[in-house]
């Protein structure tokens, strides 16, 4: 590649030197007033050289662009692992094909015409002040093509942004400097509990509100997100501090995480992680969720693994996880009195067996002391 670039630089420097020499000759002849005698030299030869260089440059540029595309193809992502991703890819390549065809045709005409109709003695150009038929053709055809591209793109976006199906599995992903926090709705139901940013602290990174009983079985992860394959997924997205962006390249999922403005993205992953390992031939392949919005010095570290597995394996994994309420019993203090009984099964035994309040504890201690003194 370096040799090709160096060769092209030398060629263009040579061409530039020739053109500079010719230009100096033209300026000299014009200033001497001898244009008629030397007209063939300063117009004919240089013009023919320029005319020939136009189609040569076009052909070489076309070859270079084709080689560049074929060389870069090895770095393209594999086929999308989601239905909406494959449709999005189709629309992308359709648009690229139309643009490429239009580019090649128009530039071919531009470069070939510059060579074909170069200056010649005695040739006069025809001038058309107007041609309504031609103007109609080059206005209507691009307008129709653009309208079709916009319409198909809008339909794809509408389907992605539509309300998720009732059976969609819900997850929440929260971006903060500099990691992702995933919240699962537990296994008892498919409902995420409410949240409140005012409740965020070292024990409750996502601000789960335990005044909502749907929060009791929610659990969180900062290292990976497990999802079932071939089932609609509703990913609820939000940010704690600055702008982030959720990006799952192999699923063609991308949505900004905006502070104060929750967003969402629905999709279906139809290829498990193991299937993608077979397809790519890479035994270490794994999906990943990355941040594509530069969010600070630690932006590079904002990535977690995405594990796509069959629903039975996913459910088995979920049952092994502990709700945040279980692993962090300090949060029990935030549960309203009328919901403590419902939350009891998620709390450790020592917490549920604790006295209801400090006054009861004091009475128990006093009673024990009296009983002890009586026995003595």
Per-position DSSP letters for 147-199, written without gaps between them: HHHHHHHHHHHHHHHSPPPTTPEEEEEEEETTEEEEEE-TTT-S-PPPB-GGG
Buried/exposed code over 325-354 (b: 16+ C-beta within 10 A; e: otherwise): bbeebebbeebeeeeeeebeebbeeebeee
Clarify whether residues 210 and 112 are in a common domain.
no
The label of the residue with tokens 């206005």 reads: 139
| Structural domain contains residue 2 | no
Clarify whether residues 229 and 98 are in a common domain.
no
- Rounded to an integer, what distance in angstroms lies between the CA atom of residue 186 and that of residue 320? 10
| Structural domain contains residue 148 | no
Is the bond preceding residue 178 a cis peptide, omega within 30 degrees? yes
| Structural domain contains residue 116 | yes
Clarify whether residues 103 and 223 are in a common domain.
no
| Structural domain contains residue 7 | no
| Structural domain contains residue 140 | no
Clarify whether residues 340 and 215 are in a common domain.
yes
- Residue partners of 236: CB distance under 8 A and separation at least 6: 170, 171, 172, 173, 192, 262, 264
| Structural domain contains residue 113 | yes
Q: How many domains does the chain have?
A: 2
pLDDT at 345: 84
Clarify whether residues 181 and 311 are in a common domain.
yes
User: Which of 166, 160, 182 lies closest to 80 in space, CA to CA?
Assistant: 160
pLDDT at 374: 33
**How would you class 195 by CB atoms within 10 Å of its CB: exposed for 0-12, middle for 13-18, buried for 19 or more?**
buried
Q: Which neighbouring-strand residues pair with 308?
A: 227
pLDDT at 276: 94
pLDDT at 23: 72
- The DSSP 8-state label assigned to residue 42 in this structure reads I
Measured N-to-C along each axis, helices 83-116 and 132-161 cross at an angle, to the nearest 10 degrees, of 160
| Structural domain contains residue 362 | no
Clarify whether residues 201 and 302 are in a common domain.
yes
Clarify whether residues 111 and 175 are in a common domain.
no
Clarify whether residues 241 and 112 are in a common domain.
no
Clarify whether residues 192 and 266 are in a common domain.
yes
Expressed as residue numbers, the domain containing 310 is 169-348
Clarify whether residues 210 and 322 are in a common domain.
yes
| Structural domain contains residue 256 | yes
Q: Is the pTM of this model over 0.85?
A: no
List the chain pLDDT tens, one digit each, 376 residues. 667 767 777 877 777 777 777 777 767 665 665 444 444 445 667 778 888 888 999 999 999 999 999 999 989 999 999 999 999 999 999 999 999 999 999 999 999 888 888 877 777 877 778 888 888 888 999 999 999 999 999 999 999 999 999 889 999 999 999 999 999 998 788 889 999 989 998 889 899 999 988 999 999 998 999 999 999 999 999 999 999 999 999 999 999 999 999 999 999 999 999 999 999 899 999 999 999 999 999 999 999 999 999 999 999 999 999 999 888 888 888 889 888 888 888 887 666 555 444 433 333 333 333 333 333 3
Clarify whether residues 106 and 207 are in a common domain.
no
Q: What is the CATH number of the domain that holds 343?
A: 2.60.40.420
Clarify whether residues 243 and 321 are in a common domain.
yes
pLDDT at 365: 33
Q: 226 and 309 in contact (C-beta within 8 Å)? A: yes
Count the neighbouring beta carbons within 10 Å of the beta carbon of residue 240. Answer: 17
């Amino acid at each position: 590649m370096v040799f090709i670039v160096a060769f092209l630089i030398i060629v263009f420097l040579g061409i530039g030197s020739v053109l500079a020499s010719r230009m100096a000759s033209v300026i000299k002849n014009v200033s001497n007033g001898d244009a008629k005698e030397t007209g063939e030299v300063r117009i004919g030869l240089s013009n023919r050289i320029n005319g020939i260089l136009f189609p040569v440059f076009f052909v070489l540029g076309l070859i270079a662009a084709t080689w560049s595309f074929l060389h870069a193809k090895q770095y393209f992502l594999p086929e999308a692992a989601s239905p909406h991703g494959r449709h999005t890819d189709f629309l992308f390549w359709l648009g690229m094909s139309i643009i490429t065809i239009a580019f090649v045709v128009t530039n071919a005409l531009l470069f070939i015409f510059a060579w074909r109709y170069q200056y010649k003695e005695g040739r006069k150009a025809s001038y058309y002040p107007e041609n309504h038929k031609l103007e109609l053709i080059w206005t209507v055809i691009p307008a129709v093509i653009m309208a079709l591209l916009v319409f198909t793109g809008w339909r794809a976006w509408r389907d992605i942004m539509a309300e998720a199906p009732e059976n969609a599995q819900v997850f929440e992903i929260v971006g903060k400097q500099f990691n992702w926090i995933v919240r699962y709705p537990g296994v008892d139901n498919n409902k995420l509990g409410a949240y409140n940013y005012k409740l965020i602290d070292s024990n409750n990174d996502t601000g789960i509100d335990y005044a909502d009983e749907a929060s009791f079985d929610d659990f969180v992860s900062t290292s990976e997100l497990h999802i079932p394959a071939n089932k609609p997924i509703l990913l609820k997205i939000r940010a704690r501090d600055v702008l982030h962006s959720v990006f799952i390249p192999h699923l063609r999922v991308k949505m900004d995480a905006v502070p104060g403005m929750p967003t969402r993205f629905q999709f279906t992953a139809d290829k498990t992680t193991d299937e993608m390992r077979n397809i790519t031939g890479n035994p270490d392949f794994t999906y990943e969720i990355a941040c594509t919005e530069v969010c600070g010095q630690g932006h590079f570290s904002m990535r977690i693994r995405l594990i796509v597995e069959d629903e039975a394996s996913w459910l088995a994994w979920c049952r092994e996880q502990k709700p945040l309420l279980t692993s962090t019993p300090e949060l029990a203090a935030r549960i309203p009195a009328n919901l403590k009984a419902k939350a009891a099964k998620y709390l450790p035994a020592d917490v549920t067996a604790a006295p209801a309040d400090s006054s009861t504890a004091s009475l128990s201690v006093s009673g024990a002391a009296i009983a002890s003194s009586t026995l003595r």
